[in-house]
A and B are shown apart, each in its own frame.
Chain A
Amino acid sequence: DTGVSQDPRHKITKRGQNVTFRCDPISEHNRLYWYRQTLGQGPEFLTYFQNEAQLEKSRLLSDRFSAERPKGSFSTLEIQRTEQGDSAMYLCASGTGDWDGYTFGSGTRLTVV
C-alpha cells in the first residue's frame, strides 16, 4: 500500500482551459475527500464520496467544479474554464469513517496563467 496517490503533481494551464486531476485512495478506504489549499491557508473542504455516492457537494466553489468517483475506487476533480483564482493545491484524502484513519495525498499544485 503506497498511500493516497494524486496525479499530476503539478499542472500549469492557461486561463479558460479545463483541467482534471486524479486521486487513487488507499485500497480499503471507502471514503474519499477533496480539499483545496491556497498559499498560507489551511485546507478547505470541497466534497466527499462514500463509495461511488457523492454525499456532500454544496461546498464546491462554483458550478465550474465537479467531481466523480464512478466505480467507488479512484476519483477525478474537474475544473472547467479555469481562472487565475483557481491556482492552489488540490488535496485528496481517504478514510474509513474512523477519523484516525483519514490520510491525505501530496496534492496537485495547479497554476493558472
Chain B
Amino acid sequence: QQQVKQSPQSLIVQKGGISIINCAYENTAFDYFPWYQQFPGKGPALLIAIRPDVSEKKEGRFTISFNKSAKQFSLHIMDSQPGDSATYFCAARFLGADGLTFGKGTHLIIQP
C-alpha cells in the first residue's frame, strides 16, 4: 500500500523557471515531511523538511508548502538550474516511528 503518492513522475523545466513537485498522504499520523534529492549513483540527500504545524518553509531557492487539511505538500524550486537535475523524493514519518515512507520519485530535468 503506497502511503505517499508523488507526482509528476518526470518533469522538464527551462532554466530559470519554477519546478513544482507534489505529494499527497493518507495517514494523519505522519508528523514529519522531508524532501530528498538523489543524483545517479548516490544516496538521497536531505534538502528541506517541514512539520505539520507549519504551512510553509523556505531555504534558499527551495520552499515546502504544506496543506494539512488537504493532506498534501509540495516542493517548489525557484530559479531552477541545470545542476538541480536529479530525482526528488518526498517522504513522511509516522509519529513515534523511526523509518521514513518515501514516494516513488520525480525525475527532474532542467534544460539550459
Give which listed residue, B36, B98, B105, contacts A41 with CB less than 8 A. Answer: B105
Contact yes or no, A100 B43, CB < 8 A: no
Take A33-B99, A55-B98 as given contacts and tell me if A42 and B105 are in contact as well, using a CB distance cutoff of 8 Å. Answer: yes
Contact yes or no, B104 A100, CB < 8 A: no
Chain A residue nearest to B42 (CB atoms) is A106
Alpha-carbon gap, A31 to B100, bound state (A)? 14
Contact yes or no, B103 A100, CB < 8 A: no
Alpha-carbon gap, A56 to B44, bound state (A)? 21
Contact yes or no, B105 A45, CB < 8 A: no
Take A4-B43, A106-B42 as given contacts and tell me if A99 and B34 are in contact as well, using a CB distance cutoff of 8 Å. Answer: yes
Take A42-B91, A43-B89, A56-B98 as given contacts and tell me if A102 and B46 are in contact as well, using a CB distance cutoff of 8 Å. Answer: yes
Contact yes or no, B98 A48, CB < 8 A: yes
Interface size class on chain A is 20 to 34
Interface size class on chain B is 20 to 34
- CB-CB < 8 A to A102: which residues of B? 34, 46, 100
Interface membership of A25, Cβ < 8 A: no
Contact yes or no, A45 B101, CB < 8 A: yes
Alpha-carbon gap, A95 to B44, bound state (A)? 14
Take A42-B105, A104-B43 as given contacts and tell me if A99 and B93 are in contact as well, using a CB distance cutoff of 8 Å. Answer: yes
Alpha-carbon gap, A43 to B102, bound state (A)? 6
- CB-CB < 8 A to B44: which residues of A? 43, 91, 104
State the B residues within 8 Å of A (CB).
6, 32, 34, 36, 41-46, 49, 89, 91, 93, 97-105
